[in-house]
Structure 1
């Protein structure tokens, strides 16, 4: 019998932190669970990442209300994944923003991703019955756009593909702080199931070129100070490279997915096995790396059925 995904047994509550990363800027973190960001403007608040359900989003709102009573006017979504977007309705924001590429991924695979992630990681869908449906943006953009929260400018930027094809980052110039979504992680495994391994490093280079003073990453602790920022960027790069490099070698000689899995474990376990969600991410990372190494440029859609087929193949 195929054993369950590691994440299906992860039901323990995580300790929430709400860390100031710049003036009026906060990172909501929870021990490797999906992070959210908060940007307080003159008259209103922008939230970055909406959590997986309205119930989980309420935890972010409760933290916001400890520092401001300003209304939440904008929700920005760095990509399309269900655990990031399905709680958006809780914020009551008039504007929901994402890249056009991310919206296209909602169209192409949003429901499939919801079904897949719900199967894989049930704890992240507390209160799932309150999700009103797929989250759709009110505004999309390509390349770059700026939002003004009174006198505070917030730049939304597509710096390249990495975690998904639709990734964006959010830069607040007056504080030199960035919210990177899952392009950058801190002591948490990168989920690469929709990733673009060959592009990821260049996207990290473009983030690094901003020389920001703090980052709220997609998962893990807030990164405050350039030393911590640079260390996290390079650690993320190492994780992605250490996953893809052994798979490339296996694929080049016509090896199997199971052989790729074993090669990645040999490379990554010694460095990353203690990272949050490592065991959860690994099979999906190997499967996507194996596809990309064999020339499948556009990530195949994960469905609840494909998840189980892949996992059975790795266990066989």
Structure 2
């Protein structure tokens, strides 16, 4: 029997956790669903990742209101994916921040990504009728920008390509805490369908060099303490390498996409089959790895139609 497409079969409501990862810093997590982060400043609040719809964003806001009544002034979006950005209107923020590259990807493929992700993961688009349209930043940056929430300094940086070409990380120096978006995951499959495999490891090295005390990852539990932080970084590295290296070998000898798929399953299933969204991610990951291994630097745009064709070829 063919597997249900992507996460269409995942209809189970996930348990939300709201974990303090530093003084005035919180990770909103939900058992492998997309995470959000919260940074409380002297007079206002910054949100990291908006969620997929305004209705889901309101669940983040409800958690924020259990710890502060300060207004939400900033929303930072680590990349352009629909499940991360389309809920931004709910926060009423003065500034919505993305990297320059992430904004260019909204221009290039934002609508296609929205259509694609809506088809892949309908549960995450609860209340989709309330989405006003594509989310556009009010503020962009190239390599780095600094925001002061009163006296609290927040550094927003592009450390390298990984999950997408425009990934941002957010660092709070006074607590030595980082919000990494989907560059780092915990017990959840990395989605690599728009990724850059060869660059991902060096970007993880750049994150690791900060020697942070806690990370709020893109998916999975909050990472508190050096041991948990380093384990998650290295596990993410292993996941990405275990996907790409078998595909490189197949591509080097002119093998087919289906051969690459079989090779990745043999390598990854024993280690990662129980990870959140593993079966969802795998076909997209293999397809992108196969393209990159054959020299295609820029990920091809996923459309709802391309999704289904690829899924049928590999998971069908």
Classify the TM-score, shorter chain: over 0.9
Q: How does 1:179-198 map to 2 (within 5 A)?
A: 179-198=179-198
Farther-moved stretch of structure 1 (265-274 vs 4-13): 4-13
Note the 1:121-160 alignment, pairs <5 A.
121-160=121-160
Q: Displacement, 1:232?
A: 0.3
Q: Residue 202 of structure 1 aligns with which residue?
A: 202
C-alpha contact 2:239 2:268 (8 A) present in aligned 1: yes
Offset, 1:315: 4.3
SS for the counterpart of 2:228 is helix
> How far apart in 2 are the matches of 1:315 and 1:88?
33
Distance 1:3 1:235, change over 3 A: closer
Q: Secondary structure at the match of 2:55?
A: helix
Counterpart position of 1:166:
166
- Distance 1:3-1:220 versus aligned 2 partners, 3 A rule: closer
Structure 1 residue 202: Cα displacement: 0.1
- 1:5 aligned residue: 5
Paired residues for 1:81-100 under 5 Å: 81-100=81-100
| Structure 2 CA distance for partners of 1:315 and 1:49, relative to 1, 3 Å | closer
Q: Scaled by the length of structure 2, what TM-score is found?
A: 0.99
Q: 2:29 maps to which residue? A: 29
Displacement of 1:3 = 4.5
Contiguous gaps of at least 5 residues in structure 2: none
Aligned residue number for residue 175 of structure 2: 175
For structure 1, the residue ranges without an aligned partner over 5 or more in a row are none
State the Cα distance separating 1:6 from its structure 2 match.
Answer: 4.0
TM alignment of 1:232-311, pairs within 5 A: 232-311=232-311
- Counterpart CA distance in 1 for 2:315 and 2:218 is 29
Mapping 1:33-52, distance limit 5 Å:
33-52=33-52
Give 1:313 deviation, angstroms: 1.6
> Equivalents in 2 of 1:54, 1:272: separation in Å?
32
Given that 2:6 and 2:281 are in contact with CA atoms closer than 8 Å, whether structure 1 keeps it comes out as: no
SS of equivalent to 1:295: coil
Number of residue-to-residue matches in the alignment: 316
Secondary structure class of the residue paired with 2:302: coil
2: CA distance, partners of 1:246 / 1:167:
25
CA RMSD of aligned residues (A): 0.9
Q: Distance in 2 between matches of 1:136 and 1:262?
A: 39
Match of 2:67 in 1: 67
Structure 1 residue 312: deviation in Å?
Answer: 1.7
CA–CA separation in structure 2 for the residues paired with 1:86 and 1:280:
21
CA distance in 2, matches of 1:194, 1:315: 19
> Hey, what's the Cα distance between the residues in 2 that align with 1:2 and 1:255?
24
Q: Following superposition, which runs of at least 4 residues in structure 1 exceed 6 angstroms of deviation?
A: none
Partners in 2 of 1:315 and 1:17 — Cα distance?
32
1:268, CA displacement in angstroms?
0.2
- Give distance in 2, aligned partners of 1:135 and 1:266: 39
Within-5 A mapping of 1:115-126:
115-126=115-126
SS at match of 1:9: coil
Separation in 2, partners of 1:275, 1:204: 20
> In the TM superposition, what whole-angstrom CA distance separates every residue of 1:206-233 from its partner, at most 9, and x where no partner exists?
0000000000000000000011000000
Secondary structure of the structure 2 residue equivalent to 1:171:
strand
